[in-house]
C-alpha cells in the first residue's frame, strides 16, 4: 500500500486538491491552491540544486533528453506571463492581493527554475549496479554490451534481454563522454 502511495503521490495530491476545490469546504481556495503551486515549483528548484551537487560525483552520468529545452522554454514563458499578469492585476483589476502576491512569487520561481540548467536524467553506478532513475536497475555483471546512439542507449544483457533509455539528445561529444564513463566504471565492456 505504501509503495502505491509513493508511486502515485502526485496524482493523489491532485485528486485531494480537486475534491477540496469543488466541495467548497474552504473559502478562497484559489489562494491556497496557487500557494501549493509555489511550494511545488520551489521544491523543483531545490531538487535541481540537490541533483546538481549529486551529479558532480564520479559515479553519475548526466543525460540530456530531447524535451529539456522545451521544458526550460515553457517555464520561462509561464513565469513571465505570471509576472505580467500579477503586476497588471495589482494596478487594473479587483483580484485579491494575496492571490496576486503568490502568483508573482510563482512567476519569479518559474523564471529561476528555467535559468537553472536542466539535468534531465542521469545514470548512477552504485554497489555494482547500474541505475537509471526508477526504471532500470541492472547488475553490472549482466551487461554484455552497450549500444550508444544520438537518441538512445541500449544495454544488452547476458540473458538475451535488453534495456533501453530513449528520447535522448546526444551529439558526438556526449557519446564520447558516455563511452569514457562506461569504460571507466564497467570493466571490459563492448560497444556496438
Supply the pLDDT for residue 1.
Answer: 61
CA angle, 168 then 172 then 177, to 5°: 80
Query: What's the rounded Cα separation, in Å, for the pair 73 and 139?
Result: 37
Supply the pLDDT for residue 116.
Answer: 80
Supply the pLDDT for residue 8.
Answer: 65
186, 143 contact by CB (below 8 A): yes
Q: Which pLDDT tens digits describe the chain residue by residue (192 residues)? A: 666 666 666 667 767 776 776 677 777 667 777 778 788 888 888 877 776 666 556 677 878 777 777 778 888 999 999 999 989 988 887 777 877 888 888 889 889 988 886 656 778 888 888 888 656 788 888 888 899 988 889 888 888 888 888 888 888 888 888 888 888 888 778 887
Q: pTM higher than 0.75 for the full model?
A: no
Supply the pLDDT for residue 21.
Answer: 66
Q: Among residues 132, 126, 129, which one has the least CA distance to residue 141?
A: 129
Dihedral over alpha carbons 149, 66, 177, 46 (to 10 degrees):
-150
Amino acid at each position: 500500500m505504501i509503495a502505491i502511495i509513493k508511486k502515485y503521490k502526485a496524482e493523489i495530491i491532485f485528486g485531494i486538491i480537486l475534491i477540496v476545490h469543488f466541495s467548497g469546504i474552504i473559502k478562497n481556495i484559489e489562494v491556497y491552491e496557487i500557494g501549493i503551486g509555489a511550494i511545488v515549483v520551489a521544491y523543483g528548484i531545490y531538487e535541481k540544486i540537490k541533483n546538481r551537487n549529486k551529479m558532480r560525483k564520479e559515479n553519475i552520468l548526466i543525460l540530456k533528453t530531447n524535451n529539456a529545452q522545451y521544458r526550460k522554454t515553457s517555464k520561462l514563458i509561464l513565469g513571465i506571463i505570471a509576472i505580467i499578469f500579477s503586476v497588471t492585476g495589482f494596478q487594473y483589476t479587483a483580484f485579491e492581493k494575496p492571490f496576486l502576491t503568490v502568483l508573482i512569487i510563482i512567476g519569479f520561481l518559474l523564471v529561476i527554475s528555467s535559468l537553472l540548467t536542466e539535468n534531465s536524467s542521469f545514470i548512477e553506478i552504485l554497489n555494482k549496479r547500474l541505475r537509471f532513475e526508477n526504471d532500470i536497475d541492472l547488475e553490472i555483471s549482466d551487461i554484455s554490451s552497450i549500444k550508444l546512439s544520438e537518441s538512445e542507449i541500449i544495454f544488452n544483457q547476458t540473458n538475451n534481454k535488453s534495456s533501453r533509455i530513449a528520447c535522448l539528445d546526444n551529439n558526438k561529444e556526449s557519446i564520447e563522454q558516455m563511452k569514457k564513463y562506461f569504460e571507466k566504471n564497467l570493466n571490459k565492456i563492448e560497444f556496438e
